[in-house]
Structure 1
Amino acid sequence: MRRVAHIARKGASHGLGFLISRLDLQRHLPAWLRIPRRMGELRPEDLAARLASVLEELGPTFVKFGQMLSTRPDILPAEYIRELERICHHVAPFSAEVSKAILREELGAPVEELFREFGDEPRASGSIAQIHDAVLPDGTPVVVKVRRPRIERVIEDDVAILTFLAAQADRVEEFEPLRLPMLVDEFARGITRELDFVAEAAYTHRFQGSFEDDDRVEIPRVYWDYTTQRVLTMRRLEGVHLSAVLANEAAAVNRGAIAQTVMDLYLKQFFTLGFFHGDPHPGNILITERGRVGLLDFGLVGRVSPRLRRELAVCVMALGNGQLELVAEVLSEIGRVPDQGDSEELREELVGLLERHSSVPLEKLNFQDTFQDVMNVVRRYRMEVPRDFVLMGRALVAISGAVTQLDPALNVAALAEPYGARLLRDRLTPASVKRSLTSGGYHLGALVSDGPREVRRFLQKLQRGLFEFTIRHEGFEKGLTELDQTGNRLSVSIILAAIIIASATLLSAEIGAVNLLGWDVSLLGLAGLLFGLILGIWLVVGIMRSRRL
């Protein structure tokens, strides 16, 4: 509860007292912070900036949560995405001696036996881990990623608090569209995977195997003998980051060839492999000394299901043919529109959006604005879209923007079209047809064999009176809370009236009377009146603060 109180104080000190009040956390605040500022006094961008500042000051778990929220433009408005993308948490690196102790504990030998060289000064340091340069006994240059000590306990406690806060927020009508419990659950699973370096190593190894025959691409090799849940060892790649190339700070490179390789690299991930590097900012893309494109940091990996790949292939082919209505229809079917939503109106708006952006020359097209416009439509209609679809969209926007900056003449759509056509053709191959028949046959067989039995069980329950169903009252808890508050105030008012009447009677009594300014008054009655005055002021302030006179 101390951590919850700290979070409540931090939010209130940044002018988010109304938010603390809506989350029913005011009991954790000191009295002078309990009068909330009205939400209407803040502009949306100010509110977003304050929220980002609070998350940044609350430590690594909340910073990671804010960064995860910045990947969900389908749920949060653009001003929140911009502010959350900026937050970062600067933490001091832990000592090399601590790193060496962890390595000895995890790998079973002192660092001097494990490595020919080990750099005491970390190459990079983050909220979860830090990275050291090292050299294996055979002379291979590597990087060693070491997890920060005791960070898993900190994250576990903070995730429990986030789960509690999300449950509180989900009871408030204004916060329901944000689906915070779902987001916190998604974050908890993601941060758990990020803490497990074996999972990151597995993804890195999988990427390395997928591109080992492509001499244009280089993925670091994982050294499994030097890898555990807390330690990850990979081959060190040397070169210049794509950010330096984009800023014209690197030596002369073939920008056109790099642009095509980077685009091909990601199109293959989206349409062929079915999994993709989910954090493709220019700092994670390297141009090696041999002119290859290298990928770094596989802590965030997305997945593209076979069905989603087919839908994307249809979109690519339809865009090439100018069939914008088909594209809009496929996009509207990728997500789920709530029952009260208008699917036809959604498709019409998507068609208009596609018409507006498809008429702009590619070199003039702002991919970020286009993607944000689509996400605004998704959010307005409260569509529930797969998290990996949004992550893929962000990755595609980032890569398309970078390659267009590298080579404005590169036709991204022309590069994507063969991938889409190949994927659609593959659906008609004998192997693909066989897989579809096998899957369909299994489900149809299960329906035929299990269907009659399930119907019989249902009828038996109905006949015996064992059939049950659940009714969920929307907003019922909020009504109960308000009724409870009203009852408490009524009780206090009755007690207050009784104290005042009793005190007035005691004032004229001779019990404990003293002379005060020429008046004989009862000290007990005077004390009762003063207590009633304080209680009455507290009651009035509470009612005024709730803005329900």
Structure 2
Amino acid sequence: MFKNTISNLARIRQVVEVLVRYGFEDVVTNTALRRLITQKRRLSWQHAERAVFETSRWERIRMVIEELGPTFIKLAQAMSNRPDLLPEALIDEFQKLQSDVPPFDVRVARTIIERELGRPITEVFSEFEEKPLGSASIGQVHKAKLLTGEDVVVKVQRPDVQEKVRTDLSLLHELVRLTAGFLRNHGLSNPQDIVDAFERSMMKELDYTSEARSMDQFRKLYENYETFYIPKPYRELSSAKILVIEFVSGCKITDKAQLLEWKLSPEKVAETGMDIYLTQIFEFGIFHADPHPGNVLVRPDGTLVLIDFGMVGKLTKQQKYAFAGVFIGMARQDARSMALNFRRLALTADIPDMRTFEADLNDLIEDFTTLDVKEMSMSDLADRLQVIIYDYKLQVPGAVFLILRALVILEGIGKVLHPRFNTFEFVRPYGARIIAEQYSTENILSEAQYTGTQLLALIQTLPADVRQIMRKISRGDLRLKVELSGYQALMRTADQLVSRTIIALIAVAFLLFSGLSLLGRYSPDMRYLHGIPVITWWSLGITGFLFLILLILGTKKRKD
């Protein structure tokens, strides 16, 4: 830990400077970060100009993130999908963040490709466009042509990006360690878990083979769909740092003029897109988590194409049933059913008052069931659901928020193409399918088999467990471990008080000895200084030293 702190010291100081610049002295002064700031610098804060306070606190948090760079931007973008953890105003600011960066030199890109392929680029590609199609914080994309004639795109990871991301992730862990108490006091109960989850996500994003596997998985699921296509990844030409994918031409799904020119029905395209996405959620339980218009293309024959599988969400079967149950309960105007399915969906759901929870859900149902079809909005519903999740501190799977966000994006696309587009009407038949699947004979037998297996395992291990407990009781070896949490700070304070009391008592003892030593009768060998025995001077010196220690400890406590 000490080694990591030293290696990250310069970067941590930079973070502190940025926090101070945007008016977050409280984050620094109320955490261990204050130790990194000199007394002179602390005084200068008190006289600094505060024009930055003309903006809101949430805007200033976004400014801090923007200045700290790509890794922090990606963390904030990931957190913008977690309204169960952050207030709505902060999420709105995080959604404004852009991670686009200038492309790097094409010569560097060629070098990386050749190193990963283990051969010259001319032995693989007959053409390679120098100008990238796009660039981002992790890598950039070039169009190329294989020697066999196929048009492809090549994603190339930025040089040294893995080392930079790992350094910033190490820094994030260190910052969380230094500010954990402050973050918890401000409502972020599990900051370390958030950074751990983000680290896993980033490590996966840095490995292009993961994206290739996702594409192959989707291709297999949709191999019989004539209206939907996923580009082919060339796994044999790809690695963790480069990804070669089939190039697919088409227009953005929102390019209504081009669709009409191709004599395609925009309404039919919108319906097909929503149908494909809902099958991903409610049938397969795996879905493309970023269906913005740039990632959804339409071919001249009307086939829809999804690109960029860097962000994929997954739901387990039970999560899929619970998520569908929330919408089914709403359609049936059954607040209790919605509440029960929310509890099934949540990873942890300690709801103190279920009646109040059901009442809030009932208000939501009443608000939306009285709306006209034209007034109903997936965006409004998602916002209301996310507020309820945040207010009741429900820890639901992150995939749920990715789905809500994706449905809002798809609704926006649908309304561009389809004047009567209604997301709820598309979702309704899938609810009926989910109910049929959940209560099908096959699923009931599967659940019964799983429950039976668990019960059998319990029965098999129970006698041995009981025998072991009884044996420990008979030997007097059974111990109960009780762990008290939340008393660490109190124990540290008590320990400091005891230490200071002991030092003070020793100092008083030496002071008393100094006074008594003046009354003593000593041998002629005793040395005197200014008429006072040397032993008295020694005793007074020790007393003064001990009182100096107490003074230093008291001053340090006031600064802390």
Q: TM-score, normalised by structure 2?
A: 0.81
In the alignment, which residue of structure 2 is the partner of 1:501? none
Please give the secondary structure, in 1, of the residue aligned with 2:352: coil
CA distance in 1, matches of 2:42, 2:349: 37
1:394 to 390, 394, 405: 405
Distance 1:462 1:277, change over 3 A: farther
- Is the counterpart of residue 271 in structure 1 residue 291 in structure 2? no
Aligned-pair CA distance for 1:117: 0.6
Whether 2:127 is the aligned partner of 1:117: answer: yes
After superposing the two structures, state which structure 1 stretch, 44-53 or 205-214, moved more: 44-53
Residue 215 of structure 1: how far off its partner (Å):
1.9
Q: Could you tell me whether the CA contact under 8 Å between 1:17 and 1:33 is conserved in 2?
A: no
Distance change (3 Å), C-alpha of 1:469 and 1:81: farther
Q: Distance in 2 between matches of 1:482 and 1:14?
A: 33
Q: For residue 153 of structure 1, what is the amino acid of its counterpart?
A: E
Alignment of 1:413-452 (within 5 A): 413-452=424-463
CA RMSD, Structure 1 to Structure 2 (Å)? 3.3
Which residue, 168, 171, 179 being the options, matches 1:161?
A: 171
Alignment identity in percent? 28
2:109 maps to 1:132? no
Q: Does 1:97 align with 2:107?
A: yes
Q: Which residue of structure 1 aligns with residue 528 of structure 2?
A: none
Residue identity opposite 1:17 in structure 2? E
Describe the superposition over 1:448-482 as per-residue Cα deviations: whole angstroms up to 9, x where unpaired.
10122223323334444544555444433444566
Paired with 1:132 and 1:145, the residues of 2 have a C-alpha distance of 7
Residue 430 of structure 2 aligns to a residue whose secondary structure is helix
Matched ranges for 1:144-223 at <5 A: 144-172=154-182, 173-223=184-234
Letter in 2 for 1:25: L
Give 1 or 2 for the bigger CA radius of gyration.
2
* Amino acid aligned to 1:169: T
Distance 2:216 2:351 in 1: 45
**Which digits, 9 at most, give the CA deviation of each residue in 1:82-104, with x for residues without a partner?**
11111123433221121111111
2:271 corresponds in structure 1 to 260
Question: Following the alignment from structure 2 to structure 1, what is the Cα–Cα distance between the partners of residues 190 and 495?
Answer: 27
Going from structure 1 to structure 2, the CA distance change for 1:487 and 1:54 (only over 3 Å counts) comes to farther
Q: Is the 8 A contact 2:52 2:60 kept in 1?
A: no
Distance in 1 separating the partners of 2:427 and 2:128: 44
Return 173-182 or 346-355, whichever deviates more: 173-182
Aligned residues: 500
Alpha-carbon distance in 2 for matches of 1:327, 1:312 = 9
Unaligned runs of 5+ in 2: 1-8, 505-547
For the Cα contact (< 8 Å) 2:351–2:392, is it kept in 1? no
User: Does 1:458 find its partner at 2:469?
Assistant: yes
Contact 1:367 1:401 in 2 (8 A): no
Distance 1:133 1:158 in 2: 31
User: Match for 1:34: what amino acid?
Assistant: R
Residues in 1 aligned to 2:195 and 2:356: alpha-carbon distance in whole angstroms: 31
Conserved 8 A contact 1:45-1:80: no
Q: Distance in 1 between matches of 2:266 and 2:81?
A: 28
Pick one of 38, 63, 69 that aligns with 2:73.
63
Alpha-carbon deviation of 1:174? 1.6
Distance apart, 1:302 and its partner CA = 0.8
What SS class does the counterpart of residue 95 from structure 2 fall into?
helix
Counterpart in the other structure of 2:341: 330
Distance 1:203 1:305 in 2: 16
Cα drift, residue 323 of structure 1: 3.1
Identify which range, 452-461 or 371-380, moves more after superposition. 452-461
Deviations 1:119-155 (A, max 9, x none): 1111111111111101111221111011112211111
**Offset at residue 45 of structure 1 (A):** 7.3
> CA separation in 2, counterparts of 1:44 and 1:358?
41
Q: Could you tell me which of 292, 302, 312 is aligned with 1:281?
A: 292
How do 1:222-301 residues align onto structure 2 when only pairs under 5 Å count?
222-245=233-256, 252=261, 254-301=265-312
| SS state at 1:34 partner | helix
Cα deviation code 1:424-471 (max 9, x no counterpart): 223444433442232122111101101222233233344445445554
Deviation larger for 216-225 or 452-461:
452-461
Pick closer, same or farther for the CA change 1:436–1:155 going to 2, 3 Å. Answer: same
- Trace 1:519-530 onto structure 2 (pairs within 5 A): none
Alignment-mate amino acid for residue 112 of structure 1: T
Structure 2 counterpart SS, 1:276: strand
Residue from 301, 315, 337 that aligns with 1:304: 315
Mapped to 1, the partners of 2:91 and 2:363 lie a distance apart of: 24
Instruction: Decide which moves more: 70-79 or 326-335.
Output: 326-335
Return the letter of the residue paired with 2:30.
R
Residue 361 of structure 1, CA deviation: 2.2
Residue 16 of structure 2 aligns to which amino acid in structure 1?
Answer: A
Q: 2:117 aligns with which of 107, 125, 132?
A: 107
1:381 aligns with 2:372: no
Alpha carbons 1:44, 1:79 under 8 Å: kept: no
Q: Deviations over 1:269-313 (max 9, x none)?
A: 011111111112222222233322221111111111111222233
- Give the Cα separation in 2 of the matches to 1:424 and 1:45: 49
Q: Secondary structure at the match of 1:25?
A: helix
Matches of residues 46-85 of structure 1 in structure 2 within 5 Å?
46-85=56-95
